[in-house]
Amino acid sequence: MPRLITHLCLVAAIGLAACGGSQSTNTTPDTPTQPSGPMLREQTSLPIGVALGVGSFEPASSIRYSPQASQLRHLAASEFSSVVAENVMKPEYIHPQEQQYHWNDGDYLVQFAQQNNMHIHGHTLVWHNALPSWMSNYSGNWESMLADHITTIVSHYSDSINSWDVVNEAFLDDGSLRSSIWSSHIPDYLAKAYTLARAADPDADLYYNDYNIEAMPKKLDAVLQMVTDFRTRNIPIDGIGFQMHIDRYWPSTAEIRQAFSRCVAMGLKVRISELDIRMNPNNTATALTPELAEAQRQRYREVITTYLSTVPAELRGGITVWGLTDALSWTPWYYKIPDWPLLFDASFQRKPAWTGMSEALQATP
């Protein structure tokens, strides 16, 4: 089945409301025992992160505006040592008008993270999606506009954000360059974006972020060819973000290991940047049964173990899950079928998936 991953649920308020309101498709049966143990952030020095909603347009998931904001903040700060904005640092929201930047929500996330001793990862400076209308219809000097966009944002956060997804999803699954406003108007836009980001913050780690690269070699070929070209021209890039929107069957751990190994062989840092694991890809379940929950525990454990055993400590950029609870996941809305892809259920309780991640973290020095 096609596995083209986008973030439509993340960029539409109605989608986020649907994710949060679809309790009938996100319920989790009572389990015999609640997984116990120290918080994830206490189990490792590796950044263990979570994507958080912040904006008022994220009515169910916002740690600032939702009715359950305090619960969301408490869970995030307790369990995780790293955060990334699910939406509010994407171009559409942070740069809504050519001469206007909206810092308020991003600054709120930064303050929350700093108060709780959390790493902050920036997502994302350049993407073909989530664009403000003025940018999509721009008619001025495109290179100057890109320079202002990247320089202003990275400079604003240079004292607080020390890693960025500079470019997100620039390649198609067959390895060809995706057509976008950037590729259409700015020759060599990829290299220019990374050069601008490095100039704005010489100390930040700069990542390229994409989906399916853990399982589609042609796509990863294109990404690594870009890195090789960058190095030939002294264009800065530090690491690769593997989104890892995967399911219980796909891809195999062998495929994941091979993809990580290729980046490690080039000395690139590796992040698992948007992890979630769908358990109902064929729409054969209506609830997360104990059997499915156990399969998810094993899958999370295998994926995290593969990462930790393949990527040496000095090249580990961290592991981030894409959302706090099953009820807030983008996947049921996008695929229009029930699913339970995250570590916590709709009641903020740890799932066996949490145990799987914990087991992997505690088994690795």
pLDDT at 36: 82
- Would residue 280 count as lying in a domain? yes
Q: List the domain range (segments joined by +) for residue 229.
A: 8-363
92 is catalytic: no
Tell me if residue 288 falls in helix, strand or coil. coil
- Would residue 3 count as lying in a domain? no
Q: What sections of 22-167 are H helices per DSSP?
A: 69-79, 91-94, 104-115, 133-136, 142-156
pLDDT at 33: 65
Residues in contact with 163: Cβ distance below 8 Å, sequence separation at least 6, in sequence order: 119, 121, 122, 204, 205, 206, 207, 238, 317
Which of 169, 294, 314, 359 is the catalytic position?
169
- Would residue 67 count as lying in a domain? yes
CA separation for the pair 361, 365 (Å, rounded): 8
Instruction: Specify the DSSP class assigned to residue 98.
Output: T
Give the CATH number, domain containing residue 121: 3.20.20.80
- Would residue 149 count as lying in a domain? yes
Question: What angle is formed at CA 223 by the lines to CA 220 and CA 224, rounded to 5 degrees?
Answer: 85
pLDDT at 280: 98
- Would residue 211 count as lying in a domain? yes
274 is catalytic: yes
Beta bridge partners of residue 49, listed in sequence order: 82, 320
- Would residue 210 count as lying in a domain? yes
Predicted confidence pLDDT, tens digits, the chain (365 residues): 333 333 333 333 323 332 333 333 344 444 446 788 999 999 999 999 999 999 999 999 999 999 999 999 999 999 999 999 999 999 999 999 999 999 999 999 999 999 999 999 999 999 999 999 999 999 999 999 999 999 999 999 999 999 999 999 999 999 999 999 999 999 999 999 999 999 999 999 999 999 999 999 999 999 999 999 999 999 999 999 999 999 999 999 999 999 999 999 999 999 999 999 999 999 999 999 999 999 999 999 999 999 999 999 999 999 999 999 999 999 999 999 999 999 999 999 999 999 999 999 999 87
CA separation for the pair 73, 195 (Å, rounded): 35
- Would residue 356 count as lying in a domain? yes
Which of 79, 86, 92, 274 is the catalytic position?
274
Question: What string of DSSP letters covers 192-254?
Answer: HHHHHHHHH-TTSEEEEEESSTTT-HHHHHHHHHHHHHHHHTT----EEEE--EEESSSS-HH
Whole-prediction pTM value? 0.92
User: Could you give the number of structural domains in the chain?
Assistant: 1
Q: Is residue 171 within 8 Å of 222, Cβ to Cβ?
A: yes
- Would residue 1 count as lying in a domain? no
